[in-house]
Structure formats: structure tokens, C-alpha cells
């Protein structure tokens, strides 16, 4: 995995409160395609604070959450550790420390763009069961569907630090196909949405590693511009983030 384990170390509480979850329909799809049932095993790579992991636990599915960042991992342990189906691991997508052929499903949600893809593919081959599936998942924010979202995208390109470099939307279909090759790749998309007041919008922004933190010279101008953006577009004190939840998967 590319060494970015600490990028979110000071973003954890905002990440927990303001990052979107994933549509139930997407989890239903993965459970169906993987044939999951109580006692099945999901390996969630780059699991962060456990946003995706949490959605499998009510189904009595064992989730092995693999996360390199200690602050993110400890947050997931605090939130989910009381569930006996949740197991937390310090590891990376290319060095999970898990047994051979243990996974009925491998997931990577909002994480694939950080992977060393060659090494991660070798680890997928090692830990996945024959006939099981692996899925790459993103909540992809729409950037042109409303005037607010168009201006928010322009705002990020102006005020964020390395948004263009780390934006996961740069991962093209060809790169996903190359990662899974020679396996056939399947794709589904599901609508997702968040509604924010101003505090929520600021929290959502500050959950991102490319948003300059307080004390950075770009922070105060960014926050001032965010206030102006919100005031221009809020309806009844709210704005919305609309997403397409993209799910790509292949069967071993």
C-alpha cells in the first residue's frame, strides 16, 4: 500500500460524523453475489473507521477489518469492537497477515486508489477463496448535477492542497479492469445522498485529507469561501451531496 496511513490521523472524528455510508442495495448485491450467510467471512481492506464493515455485522457475517492507520483503526474498534463478529487488524492491502483462502468476500471502499496494485493483487489471490468475489467500492460525488456541486468542485480545486493528485475519480475503468485481469469485471451503480447544514458541510470538508487544517495558511480563506458558497446555495439552511455509489467486482 502507498504509505499514506497517517493522512487521516487528525480527521477521524469528522470522518466518523460526516462521511457517507453505503446504500443498502449495494451491500445486498455483494451478499448475493458472494453467497454470504451467517458465519461467512468478509475481509474489508483499508477499512478506516468501519463505515462499510458495520453494514455486514447485523447479518452475522464475520468482518476482518484491515487498516494501517492507528487512529482510524482505533476508532473502528471503539465503535464496533463490542460486536463479536468484528475483528480488527493492523495491516495493508498487500500485507494483511490473514490466512490463505479465508475470504468469502474482499472489499475495498474508498481505498483502492491508495493501494500498491501489483502487490495488492497478489494478496487478493492469496487470501480469497476459490469462487469468492472481491469488490472495489466508491461513493463518487457528482460534480456537475447541481449548481452547488459544480461550484463545490471548483472550490476544492482552488482551496484544497493536493485534491487533484488524490481524487479517486482519477481511477479509470481501464485501471480497474487491469487490476482484476484476466477475470471478467462487473459493475453496478446506486444513488446515495447526504443533506448538510453549514456545520455538516464544514465537517464533511474537513474529513478530507486534502483540506488544509486549522493553522495552515490556506485554512481561513478556505472556510470563508465555504461560508459564501453555502450562503449562495442553501435552501432552508441545507445543501445536498449527491453520489453515485460505484461497485466493481470480479469472481475468482
pLDDT range class, residue 3, cuts 50, 70, 90 = very low
> Beta strand 128-141 with 239-251: parallel, antiparallel or unpaired?
antiparallel
pLDDT tens-digit map of 124-166: 999 999 999 999 999 999 999 999 999 999 999 999 886 765 5
Fold of domain 12-141+167-193+243-251: Rossmann fold (3.40.50)
pLDDT value, residue 44? 98
- Residue 1, pLDDT > 50, answer no
Query: Among 180, 197, 45, which residue's Cα sits nearest to residue 114?
Result: 45
What tens digit of pLDDT does each residue of 18-44 get? 999 999 999 999 999 999 999 999 999
Please write the tens of the pLDDT for every residue from 137-147. Answer: 999 999 999 99
Q: Report whether pLDDT(186) > 50.
A: yes
**Average of pLDDT values for 224-229?**
97
- Average model confidence (pLDDT) across the chain: 92
The sign of the torsion formed by the CA atoms of 168, 27, 75, 194 equals positive
**Closest C-alpha to 179, from 118, 106, 92, 94:** 118
Q: How far apart are CA 136 and CA 124, in angstroms?
A: 12
Q: What angle do CA 143, 23, 123 make, to 5 degrees?
A: 90
Q: What is the pTM of this model?
A: 0.90
Q: In terms of Cα–Cα distance, which of 79, 99, 95 is closest to 45?
A: 95
pLDDT at residue 6 above 90? Answer: no
Beta bridge partners of 45: 66, 108
Dump pLDDT digits (tens) for 53-69.
999 999 999 999 999 99
Higher-confidence position of 208 and 31: 31
Length of the chain: 252
Residue 7: pLDDT over 80: no
pLDDT for residue 106 is more than 80: yes
C-alpha cell read off for 24: 443498502
Q: Report yes or no: 149 and 242 within 8 Å, Cβ to Cβ.
A: yes
Widest Cα–Cα separation across the chain = 54
> Measured between alpha carbons, how far is 90 from 149 in angstroms, rounded to an integer?
36
Q: What is the pLDDT of residue 2?
A: 42
Place of cell 497517517: 6
47-103, pLDDT tens digit by residue?
Answer: 999 999 999 999 999 999 999 999 999 999 999 999 999 999 999 999 999 999 999
All three cell numbers of 91, joined, read 495491516
Q: How confident is the model at residue 223 (pLDDT cuts 50, 70, 90)?
A: very high
Residue 111 has pLDDT above 60, yes or no: yes
Amino acid at each position: 500500500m502507498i504509505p499514506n496511513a497517517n493522512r487521516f490521523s487528525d480527521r477521524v472524528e469528522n470522518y466518523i460524523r460526516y462521511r457517507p455510508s453505503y446504500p443498502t442495495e449495494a451491500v445486498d448485491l455483494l451478499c448475493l453475489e458472494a453467497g454470504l450467510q451467517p458465519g461467512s467471512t468478509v475481509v474489508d481492506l483499508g477499512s478506516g473507521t468501519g463505515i462499510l464493515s458495520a453494514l455486514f455485522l447485523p447479518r452475522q457475517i464475520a468482518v476482518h477489518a484491515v487498516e494501517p492507520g492507528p487512529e482510524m483503526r482505533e476508532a473502528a474498534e471503539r465503535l464496533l469492537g463490542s460486536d463479536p463478529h468484528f475483528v480488527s487488524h493492523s495491516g495493508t492491502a498487500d500485507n494483511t497477515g490473514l490466512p490463505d483462502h479465508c475470504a468469502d468476500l474482499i472489499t475495498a471502499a474508498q481505498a483502492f486508489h491508495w493501494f500498491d496494485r501489483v502487490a495488492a493483487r497478489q494478496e487478493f489471490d492469496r487470501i480469497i477463496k476459490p469462487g469468492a468475489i472481491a469488490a472495489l467500492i466508491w461513493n463518487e460525488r457528482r460534480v456537475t448535477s447541481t449548481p452547488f456541486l459544480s461550484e463545490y468542485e471548483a472550490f476544492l480545486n482552488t482551496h484544497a492542497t493536493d485534491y487533484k493528485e488524490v481524487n479517486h475519480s482519477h481511477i479509470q475503468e481501464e485501471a480497474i479492469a487491469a487490476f482484476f485481469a484476466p477475470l471478467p469485471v462487473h459493475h453496478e451503480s446506486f444513488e446515495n445522498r447526504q443533506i448538510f447544514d453549514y456545520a455538516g458541510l464544514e465537517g464533511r470538508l474537513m474529513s478530507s485529507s486534502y483540506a488544509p487544517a486549522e493553522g495552515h495558511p490556506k485554512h481561513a480563506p478556505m472556510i470563508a469561501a465555504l461560508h459564501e458558497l453555502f450562503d449562495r446555495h442553501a435552501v432552508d439552511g441545507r445543501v445536498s451531496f449527491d453520489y453515485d455509489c460505484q461497485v466493481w467486482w470480479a469472481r475468482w
